């Protein structure tokens, strides 16, 4: 694994910034931001989490020990503490600091804006059972906005053992691809550093990245801030709070802020409802090379991400001693049969494309309908009644397995 290259000396050179993104897929700035308000933000976050029982009571929150169980954003025990974190104004104000906005403007253009949705990362030690972010992924597959950039900002000093972010250099020019792997420290294409408070890592939406496992006994505190041109349509969900629906809206979260400008999009930006399948038809980029790919290849990438998330979400205690082989047949835009197989055996869950074991139940749908179902935009029972979702075989298993994953 190599060291990230510091781009501080070219921070005000748009051509040089773009050239480095085209070559490496990222820009790293050592000490770009004033560390003092970020350190205060980290303390405010720990204080909010301590009040919700994440940290031991009666001691300074900066040194308080973690109190299991581990929490991550797909579990209900995460939400009360996370709601209080999202109420902290500086979490939302931070990316609007001139030192950072000047860099993204130099790179993207004067009409760039930061998504109102800010994603705080409160990462528990991996050995306690949570794995958010350690699977390699590309943000375009998640967000569906071409030439969106992410800035990853650590709120604490973050040596590799605390689970800092790593970048797969060159991956920005390889299109979208299914990835089930973790960061490989033996692969010299991977780059990371020992992050310090005030550092900023910026990368293109096609740049593959992943977090290293947190091998300490502490929380890793950081945030993702996403940027795009106002000339590009923005997904509707990017305008609301992270985990909207499970968390209150901006009126409640920002009730005590000095201003709501941190979460206000620019006037006139076009808002679209994304389907989750945007990666199936990847558009051209102004910043990186986009190789040709068929719709079927793009659909495969999207489904790989969904099934990888299922594997990650599996909870052995919920499945007990159950053994199961479940087939999924998802029909693509051009009629491609995307066959995926989920296997639960011996307390473990695996997923594979075109699995070879005999399935006990088969779940079928079109690609577009399946995305609507898993995103909560289509009711599965209504889909079953209308024939847009089909179950063949052990229907009771298809229902039971829904309880084996995160709550």
**Residue of higher predicted confidence among 389 and 314:** 389
**pLDDT interval class at 168 (50, 70, 90):** very high
Residue 211 token pair: 């977090």
Measure the N-to-C terminal CA separation of the chain; round to a whole number of Å: 36
The DSSP call for residue 266 is P
The DSSP call for residue 69 is S
Cα separation of 66 and 70, whole Å?
9
Query: Sign of torsion, CA 294 134 250 78?
Result: positive
Cα separation of 311 and 180, whole Å?
10
pLDDT, tens digit, 9 for 90 and up, residues 129-165: 766 566 788 999 888 899 999 999 999 999 999 999 9
**pLDDT interval class at 324 (50, 70, 90):** very high
Q: Residues near 211 by Cβ (< 8 Å), separated by ≥ 6?
A: 123, 132, 133, 134, 163, 164, 165, 166, 183, 220
Quote the pLDDT of residue 277: 64
Query: What is the total residue count of the chain?
Result: 407
Quote the pLDDT of residue 407: 55
Q: Evaluate if residue 235 carries a pLDDT over 70.
A: yes
Cα separation of 156 and 194, whole Å?
11
Residue 133 token pair: 């972010």
Quote the pLDDT of residue 290: 92
Task: Report the percent of the chain where pLDDT is more than 90.
Answer: 74
Query: Sign of torsion, CA 24 30 35 37?
Result: negative
Q: Evaluate if residue 229 carries a pLDDT over 70.
A: yes
Q: Evaluate if residue 275 carries a pLDDT over 90.
A: no
Quote the pLDDT of residue 233: 94
Quote the pLDDT of residue 180: 57
Q: Residues near 348 by Cβ (< 8 Å), separated by ≥ 6?
A: 314, 316
Using omega within 30 degrees of 0 as the cis cutoff, is the peptide bond preceding 196 cis? Answer: no
* Averaged pLDDT for residues 267-289: 84
Q: What is the pTM of this model?
A: 0.89
pLDDT, tens digit, 9 for 90 and up, residues 175-207: 888 765 789 989 999 999 999 999 999 999 999
Q: Evaluate if residue 221 carries a pLDDT over 70.
A: yes
What DSSP line would sit under 12-38, residue for residue? Answer: T-HHHHHHHHHHHSEEEETT-S-HHHH
pLDDT, tens digit, 9 for 90 and up, residues 301-323: 889 888 888 887 888 888 999 99
Task: Report the percent of the chain where pLDDT is more than 70.
Answer: 96
The DSSP call for residue 232 is S
Q: Evaluate if residue 344 carries a pLDDT over 70.
A: yes
Angle of helix 35-51 relative to helix 79-86, nearest 10 degrees, comes to 150
């Amino acid at each position: 694994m190599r060291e990230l290259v510091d781009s501080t000396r070219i921070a005000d050179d748009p051509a040089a910034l773009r050239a480095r993104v085209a070559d490496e897929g990222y820009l790293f700035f050592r000490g770009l931001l004033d560390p003092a308000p970020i350190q205060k933000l980290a303390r405010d976050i720990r204080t909010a989490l301590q009040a919700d029982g994440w940290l031991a009571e009666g001691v300074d929150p900066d040194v308080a020990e973690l109190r299991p169980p581990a929490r991550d954003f797909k579990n209900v025990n995460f939400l009360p503490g996370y709601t209080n974190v999202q109420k902290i104004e500086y979490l939302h104000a931070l990316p609007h600091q001139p030192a950072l906005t000047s860099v993204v403007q130099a790179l993207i253009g004067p009409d760039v804006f930061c998504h109102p949705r800010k994603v705080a990362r409160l990462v528990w030690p991996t050995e306690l059972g949570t794995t958010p972010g350690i699977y390699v992924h590309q943000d375009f597959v998640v967000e569906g906005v071409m030439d969106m950039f992410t800035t990853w900002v650590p709120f604490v000093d973050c040596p590799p053992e605390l689970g800092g972010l790593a970048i797969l250099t060159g991956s920005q020019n390889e299109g979208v691809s299914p990835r089930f792997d973790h960061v490989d420290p033996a692969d010299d294409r991977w780059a990371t550093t020992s992050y310090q408070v005030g550092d900023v890592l910026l990368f293109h939406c096609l740049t593959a990245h992943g977090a290293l496992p947190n091998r300490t006994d502490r929380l890793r505190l950081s945030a993702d801030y996403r940027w795009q041109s106002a000339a590009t349509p923005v997904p509707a969900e990017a305008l609301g709070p992270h985990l909207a629906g499970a968390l209150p809206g901006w009126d409640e979260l920002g009730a005590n802020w000095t201003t709501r400008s941190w979460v206000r999009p620019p006037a006139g930006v076009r808002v679209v409802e994304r389907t989750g399948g945007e990666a199936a038809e990847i558009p051209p980029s102004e910043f990186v090379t986009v190789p040709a790919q068929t719709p079927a290849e793009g659909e495969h990438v999207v489904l790989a991400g969904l099934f990888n998330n299922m594997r990650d979400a599996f909870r052995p205690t919920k499945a007990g001693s159950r053994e199961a082989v479940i087939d999924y047949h998802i029909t693509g835009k051009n009629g491609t049969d995307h066959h995926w197989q989920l296997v639960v055996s011996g307390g473990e869950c695996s997923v594979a494309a075109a699995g070879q074991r005999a399935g006990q139940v088969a779940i079928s749908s079109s690609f577009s309908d399946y995305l609507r179902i898993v995103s909560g935009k289509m009711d599965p029972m209504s889909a079953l009644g209308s024939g847009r979702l089909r179950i063949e075989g052990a229907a009771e298993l298809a229902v039971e397995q829904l309880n084996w994953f995160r709550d």
